[in-house]
Amino acid sequence: MLHSERLQTFVALGEFLRSANAQPELDEIAQRAYHKNNWFTPINSQKALRAIADQFLTTDKLTAWANQYGIEPETPKTVGVVMAGNIPAVGFHDLLCVLMSGHKLLAKLSTQDFVLIHYLIQKLKEINPAISDWVEEAERLNAADAYIATGSNNTSRYFDYYFAKKPHIIRKNRTSVGLLMGEESEEEFTKLGHDISDYYGLGCRNVSTLLVPEGYDFIPLLRTLEPQAKNYLDNHKYQNNYDYNKSVYLINAIPHLDNGYLLVTQNDGLVSPISVVYYQTYQTQADVDAWIHTHTAKIQVVASAQGWRTGSIPFGQTQCPSLTDYADGIDTMAFLSTL
């Protein structure tokens, strides 16, 4: 299948996902995803699918992105992908990369995100039946020539062992950081709230740690976000996590702030529990630079108001990755072009 055919297939998928006629079908799929995994509310699944359509699957964006890389491989390889499943349709970018690079996909779907990814694969096959020869869902990936695997720090050790003899990308736990300077507006706080809590904070692009000046007053931030409580507490799984973490902090007399759905506590960790955001303090920008440099290998994104710090993105944009925002900062397409 030619590069142009694959590109047009993905463009057609984007057009379908954006169309009004698709909405009843997408509503049904979003409900099915929710029944399979209660973290995937219909609103969040729909939002993820729309983001894929808008950020990835347009003619201009796909063409400009794909043209950055080399010629088609003479012989397509089979790439085994162990897909993540922490937020809706998160594995789609790997699917897109493998096919657009001219290779075949052998995909082990996450049980947490099976419904949405399986649906998107079937929709691609419906749009272009030739895709069936390029995509296979499988439980075992022994037949692959190369591997891309996403998991925890623990599972990454197993991936390193099992996939060591073939080309591979092994991704580990990452999280994102919000940088505050003490002059943010309510609008910036609202955007930061989305970075912290969208998809219930389950993604590696969710802000789980805040860097704040010493003596920072969290009250304006928490008051701004307080009206959002119902959006999260309506999900019983989130409510359970909030109640549990609040109880732990109260019983153990751990200092924290609470706005009714989000807990803030000082902690040297990077990955906070669901419903919690950690913070650490700094005195100078040199402190910030040193801290970020020390933790670079564990940080996916740094966000700041209007992206004021070099290398950061604006608040409100952490969950809007572009085609070139590769997980763990590893250029997946560059890797695939070497196979």
Q: What is the pLDDT of residues 172-204, one digit of tens each?
A: 889 999 999 999 999 999 999 999 999 999 999
- CA distances (Å), 195 to each of 14, 25, 154, 335, in order? 25, 29, 26, 29
Q: Decide if domain 175-314 falls under CATH 3.40.50.300.
A: no
Burial class (CB in 10 A: 0-12, 13-18, 19+), 315: buried
Residue type, 99: L
In this structure, what token pair is assigned to residue 81?
């992908």
The full set of domain ranges for the chain reads 3-172, 175-314
Confidence grade of residue 152 (pLDDT, cut at 50, 70, 90): confident
Confidence grade of residue 330 (pLDDT, cut at 50, 70, 90): very high
- CA distances (Å), 152 to each of 149, 173, 203, 271, 281, in order? 10, 5, 12, 12, 27
The reported pTM is 0.94
Residue 60 backbone dihedrals phi, psi, to 5 degrees:
-65, -45
- CATH, domain range 3-172: 3.40.605.10
Domains 3-172 and 175-314 share a fold: no
